[in-house]
Chain A
Amino acid sequence: MTSKRYVRSPQVAARRLGDEIIIMSASDSTLFTLNEVAALIWEASDGSLALNEIVERDICPAYDVPADVALQDAESLAEELAAHGILRSCEECALAALESK
């Protein structure tokens, strides 16, 4: 099973406050709050692991949830964060880099 890799956008400011992470978009000052699980995915999104690998490593052991269910939730979350521009898929980053050359 493979899935997308994501990286955190450099255009945001973020801070962990307890179990949650608060994020502010620099472009429009929009605020986001990530819950405990979303915060784990956000922090692990440095492009080195695919989403399914993050789920298997960080989510499934901690929350006793089937991998397919956790991955489905993680994909929905990642897409939503990407839609707001606070996560970026590595594929899109690579395409953008090619287009800029």
Chain B
Amino acid sequence: MIAGTSAATSGTAPRTEAQGVTVEIGGVPILLRSNDADFRAMIEQRYAGFLNPSAQPANVFRIHLHPPSAISPDEDAHVFRNDSVWRFERGDFRAEWDAKTRRGHVHQSANPYAIDTVLRITHSLVLAARSGFLVHAASAVRNGRAFLFAGASGAGKTTMASLAPEDALLLTDEISYVRRQEAGYFAFGTPFTGELAKVGENICAPIAALYLLAKGPQNRIEPVARTKAARALLSNILFFAEDPEFVELVFQSACEFIDLVPVNRLTFVPNADVWEMIG
């Protein structure tokens, strides 16, 4: 039996539940069920390090595979809510997820990008209710504390991740997973990769600082005023849904984050010396 699979039948007329793989990111297990063994194998390979077959998945998706469409996965996903049911749509997939029952289904081709986006959207919705968010930022743990490096494409997230010394454990080079715990805000590792294509470590740590990245002639760290910090953080958070309730939750979490976590501008020369200032 492959890792993370489960099967069940019920009643006199057997109804076979599709086998599945449980992917747990940020302490949130999601069971992905599919009848297609090759697709399950692809999920296991892509999310290796984040599989937890023993977890009780609160969220379950049934995945229905279809022939590939000609539409590029690069287009933006659209996310809508009708009562408790969220719909996610893009050219290469169509999904529904009920926030009350925590059950959903996905219609997609057997490409990894569709399920990756479904997972990102689902986690952003789950996190919103738990005072957390996904943010465009690389993150790493050093000396037991997490550091986030935020910025738009080209700001230096991949560069900071690739320059990280051996004692820094990379959580992600692209999408940081931020969640409020009793002791403050924590960053979790994710399998969501960027240019570095390196899956993060499946660990978490309290966030010591958020750095807003800028490349410059010398390494320098400067504090950022709260309003500017909030604007910068909010502009990097992944807001998949134009839903007032969702936006309100994430917005308030971002503001609370600014209240608790130091935010600095990190101007850096792209070489390993910059890490002497971190941690």
Contact = CB atoms under 8 A, between A and B. Distances in A.
A26 B248 contact: yes
A29 interface: yes
B230 A13 contact: no
Contact of A31 (B226, B234, B242, B243): B234
A26 B247 contact: yes
The secondary structure that dominates the A interface is: strand
Interface string A33-55: 10000000000000000000000
Given A33-B227, A33-B231, A26 B242 contact: yes
B142 to A, nearest CB: 29
A28 interface: yes
Contacts of A26: 242-244, 247-248
Interface string A60-97: 00000000000000000000000000000000000000
Interface string B248-264: 10011001001000000
Contacts of B239: 29
A20 interface: yes
Contact of B226 (A11, A18, A27, A29): A18
Contact of A17 (B226, B235, B242, B244): B226
The secondary structure that dominates the B interface is: helix
Nearest to A16: B255
A26 B247 CA distance: 6
A101 interface: no
A96 to B, nearest CB: 17
Nearest to A23: B251
Contacts of B230: 15, 17, 22
A6 B246 CA distance: 25
B231 A28 contact: no
Nearest to A24: B251
Interface of B: 226-227, 230-231, 234-235, 239, 242-244, 247-248, 251-252, 255, 258
5 contacts: A17-B258, A22-B231, A24-B247, A26-B242, A31-B234
